[in-house]
Chains A and B, each alone.
Chain A
Amino acid sequence: AQKITQTQPGMFVQEKEAVTLDCTYDTSDQSYGLFWYKQPSSGEMIFLIYQGSYDEQNATEGRYSLNFQKARKSANLVISASQLGDSAMYFCAMVFYGNNRLAFGKGNQVVVIP
């Protein structure tokens, strides 16, 4: 069975610093997509970034980048120049191309301090 692991405890980050959120996954599938979602205190789930398993370059979306290491089965999210509005829960997720099933890690809490 596929499994996604996010093990870091809650993190405090200084404003304007970078933060890396770890995500490892376990699957025997060769074709899959990796995602990160942000959930602020208001509760909605906001899509941040996507990486396909066959993409050779790491995905980047503004201040978000995904450090994809396929051999290690890791997909870490890097947020550069943290802002107060980045305080949220962050979820790593996978979709499996065979059936489009979406699976999630348990999330990382990030608090940005001024």
Chain B
Amino acid sequence: EAQVTQNPRYLITVTGKKLTVTCSQNMNHEYMSWYRQDPGLGLRQIYYSMNVEVTDKGDVPEGYKVSRKEKRNFPLILESPSPNQTSLYFCASSSWTGGTFGSGTRLTVV
């Protein structure tokens, strides 16, 4: 089954404690991306990657890092989380026929 696996689903953490949200796809897609969703703001792109070792900033990259060492994996790293990064996060993998999303990660930073 074609899917994007994103973990964890829920995460509560404290300010400043580094965390990683994992994302893996099994569709051999070149393009992967991370979004955050906040009420009234829709989906905003954080980072994207067009292929292995090729990443670029989206609309709201501050406070986030990504890496793309393998085609299937695209982790999102928060080196020093802050409360304004409390949000719903989605990983997506896409081709020219559409995008498949992970199940989302609800992150709360206290």
Q: Chain A residues in contact with chain B, CB under 8 A?
A: 33, 35, 37, 43-45, 47, 50, 91, 93, 95, 97, 99-107
Q: How far is the CB of B79 from chain A (nearest CB, A)?
A: 25
Question: In the complex the two chains form, what is the Cα distance from A107 to B43 in whole Å?
Answer: 9
Q: How far is the CB of A41 from chain B (nearest CB, A)?
A: 12
Q: Chain B residues in contact with chain A, CB under 8 A?
A: 29-31, 33, 35, 41-43, 45, 48, 50, 88, 90, 92, 94-101, 103-104, 106
Chain A residues within an 8 Å CB radius of B104: 43-45
Question: In the complex the two chains form, what is the Cα distance from A35 to B35 in whole Å?
Answer: 17
Q: How far is the CB of A52 from chain B (nearest CB, A)?
A: 8
Question: In the complex the two chains form, what is the Cα distance from A47 to B101 in whole Å?
Answer: 9
A91-B42, A102-B33, A106-B41 known; A45-B94 Cβ under 8 A: no
Chain B residues within an 8 Å CB radius of A47: 98-100
Establish whether residues A50 and B98, one from each chain, have CB atoms under 8 Å apart when the complex forms: yes
Establish whether residues A91 and B99, one from each chain, have CB atoms under 8 Å apart when the complex forms: no
Chain B residues within an 8 Å CB radius of A37: 101
Establish whether residues A102 and B31, one from each chain, have CB atoms under 8 Å apart when the complex forms: yes
Establish whether residues A35 and B99, one from each chain, have CB atoms under 8 Å apart when the complex forms: yes
